[in-house]
Amino acid sequence: MNRISSVIIACALGCITQSMLAQAATESVLYSFCNGECNDGANPQAGLIRIKNQLYGTTTSGGIYDDGTVFSYNLKTGAETALYSFGNGTDGQYPIGNMINVAGTLYGTTYYGGTAGDGTVFSLNLATGVETVLYSFCSQQNCTDGESPRAKLVDVNGILYGTTEAGGANGNGIVFSVDPTSGAETVLHSFGGGTDGIEPHSGLLLDAGQLYGTTVGGGASGNGTVYSINPLTGAESVFYSFAGGTDGAAPQAGLIKIGQTLYGTTSSGGASNFGTVFSLGRKTGVETILHSFGLVPDGGYPLADLINVDGTLYGTTYLDGDKNSHGTVFAVDSQTGAETILHNFCDTKFCEDGEQPPSGVVNVKGTLYGTTIYGGVNSEGILYSITP
């Protein structure tokens, strides 16, 4: 029996020690943030999106006013441009979540800022560079309209849907919609703090007319949920409650779908309590652990959404990897669970190759692109590429 066959069989049996741990890719640092006076941005936490030959993302600090930026990176020339610097407070501060593109306009959220200081939904017109605050959270008494959004939005027939990790009628976060034309916000669901979930960190996945997301806490065992919500009625149902043991706990990332299966990560739980990659039958509700992270040498604490490239799941872990590392980029076979470490960050003496990736990766013609919050020649984060 060859080594690959042994790994596949071992992974099918759930053996964490059989991960394919050797680095199997080349990483390149394309840009180190915080050059000069940091007008280019610093400390990116969000992932990237691609529009033609440009990558777009946000930084949580830096920019002209040190409140974060929206930036672009030209894949052909390598030029980074700060398209917008947040800085007057009401226009938003500290963007964390990924942006989305709707017909040449970028939509995103900021964790702070806005008229009440508790976050915004914003748009940025790529043709004009004009930023518009569509909605400021905590505009209602006691923040019943939500507080502190940290996840990407989803566009459903011209309406934007998202989550806030706090606020709502019970203070445990909400699912909301915003009409980008009128700026009207609607609270679809306020999490009650019990079995329906607590504190959604992730964005939403649209599937068959339902929105699916995760909560860090709550559920039957208090260890987080996968939930669904009807965007028309606001009716919420818990699809899966994590028990907090080997099945995982505290999911912070959103979900993706392949066929009739949902895939995601938990930030803790699993065989070694450092997180998991899991699948969940869309029709059956049956959960399967594809991989349990062990911290060393395969990484731990995955925070970001996965992506699917021809049946291989790619993602990042925020912590460790090999004994000197601070985070990884990994691949997991969606069928066998076999894991490969593509890169261990902080693999250089001063972490010039990046450190601690809170965001995932985007695939552009077989090359993966992402960001780290720290590391690089200025220690303020990088934009990197990885060729598996």
What's the pLDDT score for residue 21? 43
What's the pLDDT score for residue 202? 97
Q: Is the CB of residue 229 less than 8 Å from the CB of residue 239?
A: no
What's the pLDDT score for residue 18? 36
Task: Please list, residue by residue across 221-249, b when 16 or more beta carbons sit within 10 angstroms of its beta carbon and e when fewer do.
Answer: bbbbbbbbbebeeeebebbbbbbbeebbb
Distance (Å, whole) CA 319 – CA 296: 9
What's the pLDDT score for residue 321? 87
Specify the pTM: 0.92
Distance (Å, whole) CA 138 – CA 146: 6
Q: Is the CB of residue 147 less than 8 Å from the CB of residue 162?
A: no
Residue 3: its H or E element: helix 3-12
What string of pLDDT tens digits covers the 388 residues of the chain? 332 232 222 333 333 333 444 456 899 999 999 876 779 999 999 999 999 999 999 999 999 999 999 999 999 999 999 999 999 889 999 999 999 999 999 999 999 999 999 999 999 999 999 999 999 999 999 999 999 999 999 999 999 999 999 999 999 999 999 999 999 999 999 999 999 999 999 999 999 999 999 999 999 999 999 999 999 999 999 999 999 999 999 999 999 999 999 999 999 999 999 999 999 999 999 999 999 999 999 999 999 999 999 999 999 999 998 877 899 999 999 999 999 999 999 988 789 999 999 999 999 999 999 999 999 999 999 999 999 8
Distance (Å, whole) CA 264 – CA 183: 31
Q: Is the CB of residue 350 less than 8 Å from the CB of residue 32?
A: no
Distance (Å, whole) CA 158 – CA 154: 10
* Tokens 């806005």 sit on residue: 114
Q: How far is CA 385 from CA 35, 164, 297, 314, 370, in A?
A: 19, 30, 22, 13, 7
Distance (Å, whole) CA 317 – CA 327: 5
What's the pLDDT score for residue 150? 97
What's the pLDDT score for residue 84? 97
What's the pLDDT score for residue 347? 81
What's the pLDDT score for residue 264? 98
What's the pLDDT score for residue 23? 52
Nearest to 271, CA basis, from 236, 240, 295:
295
